[in-house]
């Protein structure tokens, strides 16, 4: 990978580390966020003996509906909040398919991938 790829990854890690530091400071100050992680399934398919699953873990903000009484500024900000989400890296997920249980971890961008044989085959 070239210098630009290495530099991009270093900047990305610095951004994530900075976000963690800011979150800790907010926690020490008693400031709490009302966000919860959202698991977005992108593509999944399988057979009775095998499964393929892709998705992403995102930290979403509370989304408020637009109202007639909203100011111009609120009408500008609310759609931006809907589209602005942050990935959750190193999220540990437990995936259950029938009686089968798998553990997957999201990558730096919040993506996770599961491709596995099912020890306990699915039945109709």
Q: What is the pLDDT of residues 89-118, one digit of tens each?
A: 888 999 988 889 999 999 988 899 999 999
Q: How many domains does the chain have?
A: 2
- How big is the chain, counted in residues? 124
Model confidence at 32: pLDDT above 80: no
- Name the phi and psi angles at 15, rounded to 5: -65, -45
List the one residue out of 31, 38, 90, 41 whose CA is nearest residue 60.
38
Co-location of 27 and 45 in the same domain: no
Model confidence at 54: pLDDT above 70: yes
Co-location of 28 and 39 in the same domain: no
Print the domain residue range for 51. 34-124
Co-location of 113 and 85 in the same domain: yes
Co-location of 55 and 108 in the same domain: yes
Q: Which residues are bridge partners to 114 per DSSP?
A: 53
Co-location of 2 and 59 in the same domain: no
Co-location of 48 and 92 in the same domain: yes
Residue 26: pLDDT band (50, 70, 90) is low
Report the pLDDT value the prediction gives residue 84, as an integer from 0 to 100. 67
Residue 1: pLDDT band (50, 70, 90) is very low
Give the C-alpha separation, 17 to 49, whole Å: 40
């Amino acid at each position: 990978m070239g210098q630009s790829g290495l530099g991009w990854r270093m900047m990305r890690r610095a951004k994530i580390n900075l976000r963690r530091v800011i979150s800790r400071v907010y926690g020490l100050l008693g400031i709490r966020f009302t966000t919860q992680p959202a698991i977005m399934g992108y593509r999944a398919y399988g057979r009775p003996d095998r499964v393929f699953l892709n998705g992403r873990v995102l930290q979403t903000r509370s989304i408020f509906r637009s109202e007639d009484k909203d100011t111009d500024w609120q009408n500008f900000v609310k759609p931006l909040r809907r589209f602005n989400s942050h990935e959750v890296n190193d999220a540990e997920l437990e995936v259950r398919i029938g009686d089968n249980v798998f553990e997957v971890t999201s990558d730096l961008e919040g993506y996770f991938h599961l491709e596995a044989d099912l020890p306990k085959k699915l039945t109709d």
